[in-house]
Chain A
Amino acid sequence: MKKKVLALFLAAMMALAATACSNNNSGSSSGDSNSSGTTGESTGGEVDTSEHVVINYMTLGDIPTNQTDAALVELNKVLTEKANAEIALRWIEWTDYLTQYNLALASQSGDLDLVVTATDWLDAWPNAQKGAFLELTEDLLKTNAPKTWEQVEAAGHWDDCKLDGKIYLIPEDTYTQWINHGMFYRQDWATEAGLEDGIHKFEDMGTYFQWVKDNKPDCIPWDVQGTVSGGIAGLSDAWWQSHTDDITIDGFGVTLFKGESKDDPYHISKYLLEGDEFVNFAKTMKEWNDAGYWREDVLNNKTDTRQAMYEGLSGADQHHTETYYTTVRPEMDKKQPGSDVGMYYWGEENGNLVKMVTTHGAMAVAAQSQNPERALQVYDLMRFDQEVYDWMNYGFPENYTLDEETNILTWNDDYDTTTDAVTFNFWGGRNDEMQHKNSTYAWEPYEELQAEYDEIAIEYPYGQFVPNKDNLPQLENLSAVANQYMPQIAFGKTDDPEGLVAEFRQALKDAGYEDAIAEVEKQLAETYGE
């Protein structure tokens, strides 16, 4: 008796849960048909903006405490006037951002419209494959974001945004930026260390670190965190890039697959599996570790390396060129006058430098968006309307003066970036035409670097390649293997580097690395012919 009631009861609960889910589904599919209905209408010609709408704009960053909210009010006035729309901000904070970001997309219910994304540092493709983004048809784009359509079309970049022939992303392809990583070091110290011309190859860093170790007792040569984004990639990828011609293929989340060289990009390098270069890396890192270039407990270190460098407690910091000339160099000039911070970029000594993928910044429209057309209209303004652009990227006009001729933007003397700046983190459609030259940036060293880059850098060869991870079941275990061995190898946390490398290689093979390489090569061949 009791059991029967219980069974009935459970069955009812199951039914309830199932209907709840199917309700959701039908709700969302009707939402879809609605939106496609309106799409049909709008492609008829005129864009209907009679209804005032709120466009939810999702980007990454900590919730701002500066003037962003005040600027948003002003920005929305402009947007209301120009497109009868306003935007609401939705932040994905930096803590565990990738998880939060993917979860927000997975649980969307019409509460997202414009989504800042990226194919290299955010999971744009996996999310597109799972249906998180709306397909952007040619009509939809041409009608609602005509300027964007034209600009990207003229550059021939729509192909980089396609998955199975359908467009899902709008690339930030007309914004020049260099996001190639390197090491920031103090030239004043480097000079004393005998590196008058600066650091230009990987091994020079050792000389520099040793000098810091010997001469600056309060300073750790590189007070790095032993996390993947902190130091592990900084060392292992740096060595890999500076000692081979291999080219990184984005989109796997873990750096295991690199093309052989720019002349042979569609074969995967076996650097990790065979040869001496990787062993040399392990040995050198063991030496560096023993010499104390980083903390003994580096793998658990929680220091903010950049802050430590500002305070003179770390001799170096690792990040990309943009960070160098917009942030670290200017800050160091202020906080450590005379430090004359330089940047050694990975691949400098062997000229192995690749331009970034055009979708390093991109904008997508959420699949469940209630107003995809309006979202695209707003996007077009964000990218091409100077007034909107300035509000989003520079904030209150009272805070700066703009020299019309040189296009140099100078901040007022009392301008304080921590309280007066705005942070919309609009990384999905910045546009060189609209940009101003920020007077606080270190343009001189940047332009020097840029000139070098322009000479050697090649185009990213895998712009149209979207890895199909369904056919790469080895990835999870490979990822675990890499995350287990790489930290130890990269920070020399072993008594026997050669042995550890051999162990790592065996573990990679056991986890199916060779099959995975073959599969990636096959997928590359499918994309690029051959």
Chain B
Amino acid sequence: MKASKAVTADRPSQHGFLYRLNQNKVLLIMCVPAILFFLFFSYAPMPGAYVAFTNFNYNGGIFGSPFVGWRNFEFLFTSGQLTLLLRNTVLYNLVFIILGNIIQMFIAILLNEVACKKFVKVTQSLMFLPYFISAVLVGLLVYNMINYDYGFLSNLVRSMGGDMPKLYSDPNTFPAVIIIAKLWQSTGYGTVVYFAAICGIDASMMEAAKVDGANGFQRIRYITLPCLKGTVIILFLFAIGGIVKGDFGLFYNLVGTNSVLYSTTDIIETYVYRCMMNTFNFSQGSAVGLFQSVFGFVLVMVANGVVKKLDSDYSLF
């Protein structure tokens, strides 16, 4: 309401803007739900980030609680763990992003080459399913697969005369478990995105290539992959904003209180959770969230700037 008033208030100087508004009104109306969503769930709560600088109490609320400056951020920096946590968080995310995208692209291309539409549909749905399974269940599933005493895989290995590695006691191999679980969960989702992008490639190009005698691999190499470049870059830019944010649900449910594994599996979220589970301090929790968001924001700006410099067609803005 207020926003529209503000806009109409300086009507004379806004002629160009209003004109364009009118020109694109159909597009804009289609965007309205998304705009409203971000307005209410992203922009409107933003002033609330102030809570990270207060000693929060229920009576004062967010803006009435005493201001304490940077105190809520201190524990993260005095812990001596921040480097380790940042390293783990960023490395995991890099692996998720790089490996994830490669696999998703690979499967999308494979699916595209399959002629039987029914098979494609069924495969897509099945691959999508793990995305909807909660992390708690994933944790249980993994435990029941690989636990040393009674796990399914352990029994299998043992019955074949082998010896199952003690995965839950080995910080060096456990990251592989996390990565596999994550990829299992997210591949189906990403595949759909790439599959859609491939479907959007102009069919006449493919036909032309076929006529020119390009074989299947050549078509993939010279048409499909270059056409996916834009999608890859955009997904990468989106992902990089969250590079210091970890998937708490997954990590917590896979690792839990198993501190033997912390050196290679502790991420910012799980560490903060352990700090907070005994004190329940909203302000400090918000402080960490703010830190991660600002860090992610800077990264996105930098990455976008780099992309823009290299090829402005592919930058986000």
Contact = CB atoms under 8 A, between A and B. Distances in A.
Interface in A426-481: 469-470, 473, 475-477, 479-480
A510 interface: yes
22 contacts: A5-B7, A8-B3, A9-B6, A10-B43, A13-B43, A22-B63, A25-B63, A99-B280, A123-B280, A226-B258, A227-B256, A296-B148, A296-B166, A297-B168, A367-B59, A475-B279, A476-B75, A479-B277, A484-B259, A484-B274, A486-B259, A493-B169
Closest 5 pairs (CB-CB, A-B)? A253-B278, A299-B258, A131-B59, A476-B275, A296-B148
Interface string B5-18: 01100000110110
Interface residues of A, number: 64
Between A1, A15, A130, A297, the greatest number of chain B beta carbons within 10 A of the residue's beta carbon is seen for: A297
B14 to A, nearest CB: 7
B57 A487 contact: no
B57 to A, nearest CB: 4
B64 A25 contact: yes
Given A102-B280, A126-B280, A476-B75, A9 B7 contact: yes
A504 to B, nearest CB: 11
Interface in B41-99: 43-48, 55-64, 71, 74-75, 78-81
Contacts of B277: 98-99, 253, 479, 483
B81 A480 contact: yes
B262 to A, nearest CB: 6
Contacts of B281: 476
Nearest to A11: B6
Contacts of A386: none
B257 A295 contact: no
A23 to B, nearest CB: 11
Contacts of B59: 28, 131, 367
A300 B145 CA distance: 12
Interface string A1-42: 110010011111111111011101100100000000000000
Contacts of B262: 484
A302 interface: yes
Nearest to B263: A484
B2 interface: yes
B275 A300 contact: no
A469 B57 CA distance: 13
Q: Say whether chain A's binding surface is mostly helix, strand, loop, or mixed.
A: helix
A13 B46 CA distance: 10
A131 B74 CA distance: 25
B168 A299 contact: yes
A68 B260 CA distance: 43
Contact of B257 (A16, A475, A476, A483): A483
B14 A5 contact: yes
A130 B58 CA distance: 6
Interface residues of B, number: 58
B284 interface: yes
Interface of B: 2-3, 6-7, 13-14, 16-17, 39, 43-48, 55-64, 71, 74-75, 78-81, 140, 143, 147-149, 166, 168-169, 255-260, 262, 271, 274-282, 284
A299 B256 contact: yes
B169 to A, nearest CB: 7
B260 A131 contact: no
Contacts of B166: 296-297
B142 to A, nearest CB: 9
Nearest to A99: B280
Nearest to B6: A8
Contacts of A98: 277, 280
B9 to A, nearest CB: 9
Nearest to A223: B149
A480 B46 contact: no
A408 interface: no
A469 B275 CA distance: 13
A130 B57 contact: yes
A21 B168 contact: no
Contacts of A484: 259, 262, 274
Nearest to A129: B57
A1 B12 CA distance: 12
A485 interface: yes
Contacts of B258: 226, 299-300, 487
A12 B78 contact: no
Interface string A274-308: 00000000000000000000011101111000000
Nearest to A13: B43
B149 A296 contact: yes
Contacts of A332: none
Q: Which of A228, A469, A483 has the most CB of B within 10 A?
A: A483
A13 B44 contact: yes
Contacts of A131: 57-60
Contacts of B64: 25
Query: Which of A98, A102, A469, A484 has the largest number of chain B CB atoms within 10 A?
Result: A484
Given A16-B44, A473-B71, A488 B58 contact: no
Contacts of A9: 3, 6-7
Contacts of B17: 1-2, 5
Contacts of A14: 46-47
